[in-house]
Structure 1
């Protein structure tokens, strides 16, 4: 009888404790984060869903990934406080930090310290790889990625202007914007555009996955290196989540060693980043009048 009473009491206590624990967790503020939509949405949701679960376990607060439909939308969400953390490209991180004083670029991929873009072409153009900028591409149709993409527009345009002495609209017969790196490769592969600019990790990943034939889409040239993707966090999160929270987020991101998470980016590891790392991006964006 006593055992039965004790078992019942323990069971009742557990039933009470579970909701209380859930309430305690839900009472904590939620860390929301987003990312520039540089690839197809399905891939992004899979990638950042894993990141959200990882961060939630490490930080002890609810974490949710908030998808956005465009590069400008990611900056707006950060600016308005809809998200506190974002995986930005170099240019969008600069735009976001300028809009929210005190914000910091805290972590980048090891590959992002010396990122490059490829100038690619459909094999039917007859254009061949070269060590210097492919000036034989003059008069061809050309597509960038998103308008505010660092590796899909900003730096490729900078080097097109530098190497040709002309604006892309003058050098090429027609210039478009695909919206993301995956679409750029697909448009060049289909012949809708003859030449394009794409970040090297996206292209290499598509080749490795068998989603593009390097015999159909050739790499003509790669740009000099530049800093690119990074996690940027709002400067006011310590007020919401407690002192030292920025450092906790940074430590958690730097500690990512799950091969599946790293492969999804794809990055070999994450390393520290600072706002100063992206000064070249800010200077180039000002030169091309891409900052307000």
Structure 2
């Protein structure tokens, strides 16, 4: 073998040995996230034939920063964080979403002491109460709930409510409203439904009073340079692996019935809404 051939062979070995990193927005407790996504990493590693590692992040903004800085090459984003990541990372694209994600909804919940009941119409009698969103960058916990508050009530949240906060994640929103620390809150419907299915005590004192109209939300977004680093067609292979995920335990951890193809254009409504609310330049 010539010196050049040896060098090229060595380079190829290094490229093949490179680890593929991914992360996810921390929309639930960190312990639950690590448990569920470590299993996803094992699945992807078997399907892709490369080392795959899950990288936990502290908050929504950190997931976008890690993606932009190439600390991760794939991420399970919400609608807004996905848009933010793709805007900041030329070539990045959405490749998959949950079967439920094109028609996602948020729940507005209220502590039982408020006396509010579930309604098909935007709730009345909420003015002057306290309200908590989830993360500031959450699509289902902040962006779309704020959009509908402004559209239905004709006021900004700070004008409508006596106090407005940000819990950080959906699970925390449920706990805070259930405890009475906040009278009202908005969260991802799937997190609430999962709490109901598991018999969580929080659902006894935090009740759903309204659900938003549907909008596109969560998505898998991948960097545009992965084919150059992991081999031609790697992005397509990642997409196929995600769409081919059929293990009920893995899917239940999201929770999703299945994953389907997605394109960045599917989330244009989220980008437009974020720009309208001044959350995206």
Q: Which residue of structure 2 lines up, in the alignment, with residue 19 of structure 1?
A: none
Among candidates 98, 104, 108, match of residue 109 of structure 1: 98
| Larger of the two Rg values belongs to structure | 1
Q: Which residue of structure 1 lines up, in the alignment, with residue 114 of structure 2?
A: 125
Among candidates 73, 77, 92, match of residue 84 of structure 1: 73
TM-score (norm 1): 0.90
Among candidates 207, 210, 215, match of residue 218 of structure 1: 207
Structure 2 residue 178 is matched with structure 1 residue 189: yes
Secondary structure in 2 matching 1:119: strand
Q: Is the 8 A contact 1:95 1:291 kept in 2?
A: yes
Once the two structures are TM-superposed, the CA of residue 173 in structure 1 deviates from its matched residue by: 0.5
For 2:126 and 2:237, the matched residues in 1 are separated by 48
Once the two structures are TM-superposed, the CA of residue 26 in structure 1 deviates from its matched residue by: 9.4
Once the two structures are TM-superposed, the CA of residue 200 in structure 1 deviates from its matched residue by: 0.2
Q: Is the 8 A contact 1:25 1:62 kept in 2?
A: no
Instruction: Provide runs of 4+ in structure 1 moved above 4 Å.
Output: 24-27
Q: Which residue of structure 2 lines up, in the alignment, with residue 144 of structure 1?
A: 133
Please list the CA deviations of residues 1-23 of structure 1 after superposition, one character each: whole Å capped at 9, or x if unmatched.
xxxxxxxxxxxxxxxxxxxxxxx
Structure 2 residue 227 is matched with structure 1 residue 238: yes
Among candidates 251, 254, 257, match of residue 268 of structure 1: 257
Q: Which residue of structure 1 lines up, in the alignment, with residue 33 of structure 2?
A: 44
Secondary structure in 2 matching 1:137: coil
The answer for unaligned runs of 5 or more in structure 1 is: 1-23
Q: Is the 8 A contact 2:77 2:220 kept in 1?
A: yes
TM-score (norm 2): 0.94
Q: Is the 8 A contact 2:97 2:262 kept in 1?
A: yes
Q: Which residue of structure 2 lines up, in the alignment, with residue 227 of structure 1?
A: 216
208-217 or 228-237, larger mean C-alpha shift: 208-217
Cα RMSD after superposing both structures: 1.2
Q: Which residue of structure 1 lines up, in the alignment, with residue 82 of structure 2?
A: 93
Q: Which residue of structure 2 lines up, in the alignment, with residue 21 of structure 1?
A: none
Among candidates 236, 239, 244, match of residue 250 of structure 1: 239
Q: Which residue of structure 1 lines up, in the alignment, with residue 5 of structure 2?
A: none
The answer for unaligned runs of 5 or more in structure 2 is: 1-12
Structure 2 residue 271 is matched with structure 1 residue 282: yes
Once the two structures are TM-superposed, the CA of residue 217 in structure 1 deviates from its matched residue by: 1.2
For 2:227 and 2:206, the matched residues in 1 are separated by 47
Among candidates 26, 46, 55, match of residue 57 of structure 1: 46
Secondary structure in 2 matching 1:197: strand
Once the two structures are TM-superposed, the CA of residue 212 in structure 1 deviates from its matched residue by: 3.4
Structure 2 residue 192 is matched with structure 1 residue 203: yes
Aligned length: 269
